[in-house]
Amino acid sequence: MDTAKFVTEIKVKDPDTNAPVEISLFKHENGGMFAVDSSYIVQVLPEEGDCWIPDPLSSEHNIETKCMVNLTGV
């Protein structure tokens, strides 16, 4: 399983609602970077233990393989 390290949180404007949205930026161990809506992370972040989400930068593109990434530093 891969890991992604928290880099920073930034505000962007939602293109549908024009409302400000906070997104968390992560550096993937494969070298890429991606951002996730911070409110989503709050929903999936356990009180203890690791935070796992579907891996947006997985090299596995088989729909039957559930590739997950561990978010660290959140």
- What confidence tens digit (pLDDT) does each residue in 3-35 have? 999 999 999 999 999 999 999 999 999 899 999
**How far, in Å, CA of 41 to CA of 63, rounded?**
23
Domain boundaries, the chain: 2-72
Mean pLDDT of the region 38-63: 79
**How far, in Å, CA of 59 to CA of 6, rounded?**
20
pLDDT at site 61: 59
* Alpha-carbon torsion (41, 43, 46, 52), positive or negative: negative
**Beta partners for residue 61, in sequence order:** none
Q: Which two tokens stand for residue 71?
A: 């978010």
DSSP-H helix ranges across 1-74: 38-44
pLDDT-above-70 percentage for the chain: 89
Residue carrying the six token digits 């579907």: 54
